[in-house]
Amino acid sequence: MRIVAGVCWWGRSWWGAPGSYGKRRGDVQRLAPGFALALIGLVLIGWGGAAAAGDTIKIVALGDSLTAGYQLPASAAFPSQLEKALNEKGLAVTVANAGVSGDTASGGLARLDWSVPEGTDAVIVELGANDMLRGVDPKVTRKALEDIVRRLKARNIEVLLCGMQAQRNLGPDYARAFDAIYPELAAANGLILYPFFLEGIVTDPKLNQSDGLHPTAAGVGVIVERIMPKMEELIARVKAKPRPKS
């Protein structure tokens, strides 16, 4: 089901805006096999470079186009900006970009194993925006996110869960059910929660692209700045765990 709304949940008009964060799902599905191989290659290259550092913490950002960096150069995407900011703080961290434009929580679950390779220490889960925009039953979104978390925890991987908020014009029942997914899932599983991934940018048109859905490079910078305390908490959790010697 594709929903085209007249007013976005932060009050901006978006008539004619695309019905998902990123490309249409069909386009992504046709590209998925090749994209998977390319992504795995990039992740492994990043991990190989990190291995020489010994204690480098390996993080994967698993998400949709908000993670992938829709219409942005690779260097301006969330994972790249986040890695740079962490490194500038003296933290030995790599952040691999496992964002797929148009992906849903179920899509992220389906590709979890190849998106998160062995040796990953932590995962940033940023999924659900496209579920909301398409009017997916919140129970389906919740179950997919629960399965992602369960499988990552089974692999002893720390998780930072990024929340999303439903558009208010989807109705109070939908908004209440959708918004509750993230805090409840985090509380039930002891996860670090960043309540709203787009916090601080949705009300500022200068920080959003013309579609009103995707942040500009400057907008991504704001996200990185605001999420930094949660990232430092995530890294502290990783460091507190016994790690196998390389």
Who's near 65: CB < 8 A, 6+ residues apart? 21, 22, 23, 99, 100, 101, 102, 103, 214
**Assigned domain for 163 exists:** yes
Q: What is the spatial distance between Cα 86 and Cα 80, in angstroms, rounded to a whole number?
A: 10
- The residue annotated as part of the active site, out of 20, 65, 101, 106, is 65
Instruction: Select which of 27, 113, 137, 211 is catalytic.
Output: 211
16: in domain: no
132 in Cβ contact with 167 (< 8 Å): yes
pLDDT for 6 beyond 50: no
User: If we measure between CA atoms, which residue out of 148, 91, 90, 111 comes closest to residue 28?
Assistant: 111
Q: Is residue 59 situated within a structural domain?
A: yes
Pairing of strands 57-63, 122-126: parallel
Indicate the SS3 state at residue 39.
helix
Q: Is it the case that residue 54 has pLDDT exceeding 70?
A: no
State yes or no: pLDDT of 22 exceeds 70. no
> Does any domain span residue 2?
no
Of 31-45, 150-164, 192-206, 228-242, the range with the lowest mean pLDDT is 31-45
**Exposure pattern of 180-219 as b/e (b: 16+ CB <10 Å)?**
ebbeebbeeeebbbbeebbbebbeeeebbeeebbbbbbeb
Known catalytic membership, residue 214 = yes
In the block, tokens 């709203």 appear at: 196
Higher pLDDT, 135 or 32: 135
Q: Rounded to an integer, what distance in angstroms lies between the CA atom of residue 63 and that of residue 161?
A: 11
Q: What is the pLDDT of residues 185-213, one digit of tens each?
A: 999 999 999 999 999 998 899 999 998 89
- Separation between Cα atoms, residue 128 and residue 36, nearest integer Å: 20
pLDDT per position as a tens digit, 76-121 = 999 999 999 999 999 999 999 999 999 999 999 999 999 999 999 9
Domain count, the chain: 1
The verdict on residue 1 lying in a domain is no
% of the chain exceeding 90 in pLDDT: 72
Q: Is residue 19 part of a domain?
A: no
* Residues of the chain above pLDDT 70, percent: 76
Cα separations in angstroms, 222 against 111, 187, 189, 200: 28, 26, 28, 7
pLDDT score recorded for residue 29: 39
Tokens of 18: 């695309």
Q: What is the dihedral of CA 100, 139, 172, 207, to 10 degrees?
A: -10
| DSSP assigned state of 212 | S
Asked if the structure places residue 235 within a domain, the reply is: yes
pLDDT in tens, 108-155: 999 999 999 999 999 999 999 999 999 999 999 999 999 999 999 999
Q: State the amino acid at position 183 in one-letter form.
A: P
Burial 56-66 (b: 16+ CB within 10 A, else e): bbbbbbbbbbb
**Per-residue pLDDT for 1 more than 60?**
no
Looking at the DSSP bridge assignments, the partners of residue 200 are none
The CATH number that applies at residue 108 is 3.40.50.1110
| Mean pLDDT of all residues belonging to the chain | 84
The mean pLDDT value for 28-39 works out to 42
Q: Nearest Cα to 115, choosing from 3, 229, 199, 36? A: 36
Specify if 75 maps to a domain: yes
Catalytic, 204? Answer no
Note the pTM of the prediction, 2 decimals: 0.81
* Segments forming the whole domain that contains residue 198: 25-240
- Of the pLDDT bands very low, low, confident and very high (cuts 50, 70, 90), residue 244 is low
Q: Residue 158's pLDDT is what?
A: 98
* Cβ neighbour number for residue 117 with a 10 Å cutoff: 17
- The amino acid sitting at 110 is A
